[in-house]
Structure 1
Amino acid sequence: MEQEFIKGFNNGYLLAQYEPELLNKLLPDLKPGNNYVDGMLSGKEQHDIDKIRQPQKDVPSNNTPDKNKKDIEWER
């Protein structure tokens, strides 16, 4: 039983990552209740969470130096 959930989770995650349109076509026909389908739905949910948490490449972080700013040397 746990094996089926894991297979469904992995397949749901991969479909959400690489074939989201196909997964969205399948979802309305999936009926929760068996371990594989429950795992598939959980895999999709986890992918959605991971996607939100993933740092955006286009948004500069506070830790990256700004190339337009020059280093200021302070006199003592």
Structure 2
Amino acid sequence: MEEQEDPTTDYIKGFNEGYRMSKVDPEVIDSIVATQPSTENDFLKGLLQGKKQYDLEQELVRNELIEWERKMKINPSVNQNDRSKDLDY
């Protein structure tokens, strides 16, 4: 069994910054990732993993929302004109 190393301080800072930037300014993190061919330093590795974590969580939330919306549709073919017939003015 492989022993896992504790993450370095730079990795943790990079992870947190990557997660935060993905949330606040995704275009900036995407351009940083695109311009960095090598992930040899711990900060950049953490940055990439933080971005991946945020993206994964967002995908899970989207899937749960889609499933919830699908379950909540009782009668999706309700005609808007039919609704106004029941109103008394």
How high is the TM-score relative to the length of structure 2?
A: 0.62
Which has the higher Rg, Structure 1 or Structure 2?
Answer: 2
Question: Which residue of the other structure, out of 44, 48, 51, is the alignment partner of 1:37?
Answer: 44
The aligned runs of 1:21-36 (5 Å cut-off) are 21-30=27-36, 31-36=38-43
Per-residue CA shift, 1:33-65, capped at 9, x if unaligned? 1110000000000111001111327x5253x58
Query: In the aligned structure 2, how far is the partner of 1:56 from the partner of 1:21?
Result: 24
Question: Which residue of the other structure, out of 57, 66, 78, is the alignment partner of 1:50?
Answer: 57
RMSD: 2.5
Superposed displacement of residue 29, structure 1: 2.2
Per-residue CA shift, 1:4-59, capped at 9, x if unaligned? 111000000111111001111111222301110000000000111001111327x5
Query: In the aligned structure 2, how far is the partner of 1:29 from the partner of 1:66?
Result: 48
In the alignment of these two chains, the number of paired residues is 67
Structure 2: any 5+ residue segments left out of the alignment? 1-6, 76-89
Query: Quick check: which one's helix share is greater?
Result: 2
Structure 1: any 5+ residue segments left out of the alignment? 68-76
Name the % identity: 25
Question: Which residue of the other structure, out of 12, 20, 25, is the alignment partner of 1:19?
Answer: 25
How high is the TM-score relative to the length of structure 1?
A: 0.71
